Chain A
Amino acid sequence: MITHRVHRDLARAISSVENGIVELPSALATLRAQVHGTAQHRAEIIGVTGPPGAGKSTLVDRLIEGFRAEGESVAVIAVDPSSPFTHGAVLGDRVRMQRHAGDAEVYIRSMASRNAGGGLAPATRDAVRLAEAAGFDVVIVETVGVGQVELEVVAVADLIVVVTVPALGDGVQAIKAGLTEIADIFVVNMADRPGANRTAIDLKQMVRASSREIPVLQTIAQDGSGVSELLTAIVERRGQDDSNAVRAVRFEVVRQARDRAVAAALATLDSPDAAAVLQRLRDHDITRNDAIDALLSILGGPVHAH
């Protein structure tokens, strides 16, 4: 049973972590004591992402309704962008979730991105952990409107719903690069608009090329059409426990490895050995390809054939 007191304790715990007053482990311990929770409680964490204006908040509102009908409590962490200039933010995702305002089994928290890249706020991950510790059954993370590179949600959620809309022009192009790799379920929202079938077919073709089975669904979040199919798809994925943890770890390892490799390459290019190679290039002693091979061999990386 979630009470208004739990809302208050959770809300304060999130702010204290968000504002750097307390570290997460201490906030978790305090919150668990306040709500008589245990470290064993596990929530299902669902990420909802997609381009701006795709209807993410309205769809989240429908998902809340669906989970509530099953008797499950729901926490939502909705991220909106901060202004890079003033650091202020207008957080408006709640407007579309008004129907649940009086329901104590529903907790909604808006977070400003505070200029973290990746589509989430710096403390989103911690907020999810805290909502789980407060005892919620389902935690939904709604990202800021994203393009190809804001994939951070993959490191937070168990299951990711990627929402798009018809006739975004290159909308499918936009989600091709990154979002395909992280989607567990694709949703073409606003499916009553022209071009919805086309978009769904494009997505299905894209999905066919990947090794995973990813459903492509159509919804009209505004009136709730297709939402029960989406809920069914989410519930079906639940038991599977496919390799999402593995995927999240791979994502994080690749990202950190890439950062390290770039740092190493830049350091190599600053070394005296590299300077000598570059000087020979400048003096027309060697070709560009020779220079690249020489520098890569200094770095110790593989030398590619050209």
Chain B
Amino acid sequence: MPIKVLVAKPGLDGHDRGAKVLARSLRDAGMEVVYTGLHQTPEMIVNAAIQEDVDVVGVSILSGAHMTVFPKIMALLKEREVEDIVVLGGGVIQEDDVPKLKAIGVREIFNAEASTQDLITGIERIVAEYGRDRARREAAQSHAGAGRAAAR
């Protein structure tokens, strides 16, 4: 089944050319890509990720607000009990901040030097390793009840 990705552009920065190019590259790699437009709040991003039931949320931030935006997204995912959705970061993020973001659960940071191929390979690897389907299948197996299995 295709990997489903939400490409999110939070905050005030109005540059989404990169996000659109990325969306198209992921599509060409066979993924189903939900694009939500500019100026997303963390709440909007998390709501969209839940409604669309994506494997991955890719958050692109160029404005420097990553230390505000990511903690909010991670907290909301936890609050809504959907922590199995993988969060990836991209854009302009200082090296010092990368470990801090990983510590709060952002799975990977792709900096400006990363090629789209790096991203595609990275997403495929991370989804295979941590993706929702694997997590839910394992959960379904450990609770053998029919209802649980139906819910994955």
* Inter-subunit contact B34/A101 (CB<8 Å): no
**B72 on the interface (CB 8 Å rule)?**
no
**B18 on the interface (CB 8 Å rule)?**
no
* A98-B1 CB under 8 A given contacts A8-B82, A15-B53, A108-B51: no
B residues within 8 A CB of A16? Answer: 150-152
16 A-B residue pairs with Cβ-Cβ distance under 8 Å, sorted by A, are A7-B50, A12-B151, A27-B150, A86-B27, A86-B29, A89-B33, A90-B23, A90-B27, A90-B33, A91-B32, A94-B52, A95-B35, A95-B36, A101-B40, A101-B44, A101-B48
B residues within 8 A CB of A92? Answer: 34-35
**B15 on the interface (CB 8 Å rule)?**
no
Query: Closest approach, in angstroms, between the C-beta of B73 and any C-beta of chain A?
Result: 14
Cα distance A160–B62 when bound, in Å? 43
* Inter-subunit contact A22/B152 (CB<8 Å): yes
* Inter-subunit contact A102/B32 (CB<8 Å): no
For B32, give its contact among A9, A21, A89 (CB under 8 Å).
Answer: A89
* Inter-subunit contact B33/A91 (CB<8 Å): yes
Instruction: Render A119-155 as a binary contact track against B, CB cut-off 8 A, 1 for contact.
Output: 0000000000000000000000000000000000000
Cα distance A175–B58 when bound, in Å? 39
**B118 on the interface (CB 8 Å rule)?**
no
Closest B residue to A102 by beta carbon equals B43
Closest B residue to A9 by beta carbon equals B151
For B151, give its contact among A4, A34, A107 (CB under 8 Å).
Answer: A34
Q: Interface size (B, Cβ < 8 Å)?
A: 37
Cα distance A72–B146 when bound, in Å? 33
Q: B residues touching A (Cβ–Cβ < 8 Å)? A: 1-2, 4, 23-24, 26-37, 40, 43-44, 47-48, 50-53, 80-82, 133, 136, 146-147, 149-152
Residue in B24, B147, B149, B151 whose Cβ sees the most chain A Cβ within 10 Å:
B151
* A98-B151 CB under 8 A given contacts A7-B50, A112-B2: no
Instruction: Render A1-21 as a binary contact track against B, CB cut-off 8 A, 1 for contact.
Output: 000110111011111101111
Closest B residue to A109 by beta carbon equals B51
Residues of chain A from 1 to 59 with CB closer than 8 A to chain B in the complex: 4-5, 7-9, 11-16, 18-22, 26-27, 29-30, 33-34
**A301 on the interface (CB 8 Å rule)?**
no
Cα distance A94–B146 when bound, in Å? 34
**A87 on the interface (CB 8 Å rule)?**
yes
Closest B residue to A20 by beta carbon equals B1
B residues within 8 A CB of A225? Answer: none
B residues within 8 A CB of A19? Answer: 1, 133
* Inter-subunit contact B50/A33 (CB<8 Å): no
Residue in B40, B51, B82 whose Cβ sees the most chain A Cβ within 10 Å:
B51
Residue in A33, A82, A98 whose Cβ sees the most chain B Cβ within 10 Å:
A98
For B147, give its contact among A8, A33, A82 (CB under 8 Å).
Answer: A33
B residues within 8 A CB of A20? Answer: 1
* Inter-subunit contact A102/B47 (CB<8 Å): yes
**A268 on the interface (CB 8 Å rule)?**
no
